[in-house]
Amino acid sequence: MTTGGSNAQQLDPAGAGTGEHSDAPVRWLAANGDAADFIELHFTDVAGTLKSVVLPRSQLEETLAYGHWFDGSALEGGARLLETDLLLRPDLRTWGLLPWVEATGERTGRFICDVATPAGEPYPADPRAVLRRVVQEAAELGFHYHVASEVEFFLLRPPRITSQGSARPLDSGGYFDQPLPPAERPTEAMVAALEALGVPVDASHHEIGQGQHEIDLPLLPALEAADALVTCKFVVKSIARRRGLLATFMPKPLAETAGSGLHLHQVLADRQGQDVFWDPADEHGLSATARAFLAGQLAHARAMCAVLAPTVNSYKRLGRGFDAPSTIGWSDANPQAMIRLSGRRGRRQTHRPDTLAGGVGTLALELRCPDPSCNPYLALAVALAAGLDGIRSAMEPPAPLAPPPAAGGPAATAEEEQVELLPVSLGEAIGELEWDPVVRAALGAPVYERLVMAKEQEWQAYRRQISAWELERYLESS
């Protein structure tokens, strides 16, 4: 997402959103300044929740020149402590007019913002700044990180929770079904809105679960990929709400059906834009760089889960069937593996790699344990940092997991495969994060401290709950 799409003028991005002096804001105002009546300034807290400040048009010029003051404790992710005066600095490359008009006829535009200190420096607890820093570390090693995303979510009808305490899906369709006529499918409107905001979409389709859908985003540089994910969630929720529906990125809203994942197809390019993962001489098509990157992600998998699968509910998806991963391993096809080799080797990449030299890619590492409740900036930052640690340390991955057994055949256990398992609870993942210096360093102390505090509070609040299942099972029998 480089320019905000069809409703933004192409700009030299120098200085945009970085606090550097530039005439880009002046040129932007001349081209777009009267397009909107209100402007939303978007940013995320450490937990990934989208936050915003709404400005009237009269405040736009001053905001572009100096930034907009706000209380930085909004970044705490639910563990709000002390107020902190910080600045939101719009990134001009993320401008877009929201593709819906209010009943009053007023138009609203939006920017994704960087967070800066009063001195104009990047604020270290800003998730976007965390990803920028790790991307820069990769660039210093000669690498550029690109990601294509499969975003899964559920659409629910009102009442979203029935009297039996379960969610009510929009439809009863299954994998790649068309359960609704085109005029009633909200996903078409969601794709159109994303395109209007400058987020390219490869495809959308119905997923396995009733009311479950997927939007596929193409291969993009890491920061643009994270911006696109934030925009995707915002658009999906907004369009659903305007149609009287609830869109949820909760990993496991329905107990007896598939959960929602966020599959990240990762490609590493060199300074010339050439894919460095593919080696046709290798049995699996993996270069030495790819093997080391893969090994690094496996080595740090358990700690990464606190960021990639960051809610209590995340662990009701992982390792619970329906093709959700459970093992710290890699494979061409085994659905239990947290990393799968994806792409069509020797042919055009499954996800359009417009940013790579020649528009051609041959191999991607599909990271399958993240879910869409995560903060995309932090998720990509820790995934990249883990891979880079593997490269720096010349790590070697274990043998790939065996393919799944034929129908009716016995499945190998984790002990038989001699593989580690992903964490089974948020509490376990938090404990792993506390012991992993690489993932902690990728987050940086300010984000790490805020994230752990917020997640510890969430985990302890969950553990104190007495569920309806417990009451039904134990109240009379005990």
| CATH, range 133-404+419-470 | 3.30.590.10
List pLDDT tens digits, range 163-178. 555 678 777 766 766 7
262 pLDDT more than 50? yes
Query: Cα–Cα distance between 386 and 474 in angstroms, integer?
Result: 44
- Give this prediction's pTM: 0.89
Joined tokens for residue 277: 């993962």
344 pLDDT more than 60? no
List pLDDT tens digits, range 354-371. 445 444 456 899 999 999
Query: Cα–Cα distance between 270 and 222 in angstroms, integer?
Result: 14
**CB 271 within 8 Å of CB 303:** no
- Looking at per-residue pLDDT, the higher value among 393 and 4 belongs to 393
| 210-219: average pLDDT | 92
Confirm whether 5-121 and 133-404+419-470 share one CATH topology. Answer: no
**CB 207 within 8 Å of CB 258:** yes
List pLDDT tens digits, range 421-435. 999 999 999 999 999
By the 10 Å C-beta count (0-12 exposed, 13-18 middle, 19+ buried), 119 is classed as exposed
CATH match of 5-121 with 3.40.1190.20 = no
Task: Name which of 40, 68, 232 is nearest 151 in CA terms.
Answer: 232
Give residue limits of the domains in the chain: 5-121, 133-404+419-470
Q: Highest-confidence range of 86-100, 157-171, 314-328, by mean pLDDT?
A: 86-100
SS (H, E, C) the chain: CCCCHHHCCCCCCCCCCCCCCCCHHHHHHHHHCCCCCEEEEEEECCCCCEEEEEEEHHHHHHHHHHCEEEEHHHHCCCCCCCCCEEEEEECHHHCEECCCCCCCCCCEEEEEEEEECCCCCECCCCHHHHHHHHHHHHHHCCCEEEEEEEEEEEEEEEEEECCCCCEEECCCCCCCCCCCCHHHCHHHHHHHHHHHCCCCCCEEEECCCCCEEEEEEEEEEHHHHHHHHHHHHHHHHHHHHHCCCEEECCCCCCCCCCCCCEEEEEEEECCCCCECCECCCCCCCECHHHHHHHHHHHHCHHHHHHHHCCCHHHHHCCCCCCCCCCEEEEECCCCCEEEEEECCCCCCCCCCCCCCHHHCCCCEEEECCCCCCCCHHHHHHHHHHHHHHHHHCCCCCCCCCCCCCCCCCCCCCHHHHCCCECCCCHHHHHHHHHCCHHHHHHHCHHHHHHHHHHHHHHHHHHHHCCCHHHHHHHCCCC
22 pLDDT more than 70? no
Query: Cα–Cα distance between 16 and 22 in angstroms, integer?
Result: 8
Residue type, 453: M
Average pLDDT, the chain: 85
